[in-house]
Amino acid sequence: EVAVCRLGHRPGRDDRMTTHVGLTARALGAYRAIFPENATDAVETARDITDRFGGPFAVERTDSPTGVVRNWEGVVAHLTMYGEPVQAVEADVRSALVDRREPLLVVVGAEKVPFEIYEAADWNVAVTNQPHSEVAGLAVFLDRLFDGAELDREWVGASREVVPQATGKLVESVDEE
Ligand code: SAM
């Protein structure tokens, strides 16, 4: 099982980014997101989307994301441009998650990440060694981890379901089926 922890959040400036960390975590196979205490909008959006489009996906807040990382009972992958290439470590991470059934915490930063996080992580993982975005890094990391299987995830408890269309938009109410 995979959880995603966002280390920091600047209200206003980071609202969309933190929201997208949550939605991307959910869409691409994580089962839980842990946000800083002040990320209220992102928590609300993730819960609202889960209510409508299904789960399982839990979202919660913490007053100490660093404490969550420090006390995690399982393994920790911290996404950072300074880390080891994802293509070099993905097999090790997958083995811990799948073979040894260790709960995996994927950590993404916001502003400057304290050095303690680099030390607490089992892997510091780079999706390229170029600076980009926590949302992009998370998406590529999860897709590598699950080897594409997350694209076929089944959703439970949805009230709405998108029916894929070559053109146009079709959303059905699940209750009416
Ligand atoms: N300036 C911050 C620092 O020095 O740690 C990082 C800011 S960056 C906009 C925010 C987050 O995006 C990072 O903490 C990391 O989780 C993620 N990120 C950015 N580029 C990445 C990359 N190439 N690989 C993996 N994660 C990346």
Q: Enumerate the domain spans of the chain.
A: 2-176
Distance in Å, CA 144 to ligand 1 centroid? 18
Q: Compute the distance from residue 131 Cα to the ligand 1 centre, in Å.
A: 6
Mutate to test the pocket of ligand 1, among 69, 80, 129 (most ligand atoms within 8 A of CB): 80
For residues 79 and 141, the answer to whether their CB atoms sit within 8 Å is yes
pLDDT tens, 39-68? 999 999 999 999 999 999 999 999 999 999
Helix or strand or coil: residue 85? strand
Q: What are phi and psi of 2, to 5 degrees?
A: -120, 130
pTM value is 0.96
Complex-level ipTM beyond the 0.90 threshold: yes
Q: Give Cα 147 distance to the centre of its chain.
A: 15
Looking at the domain 2-176, which fold is it?
Alpha/beta knot (3.40.1280)
Helix 15-27 with 40-53: angle, nearest 10 deg: 30
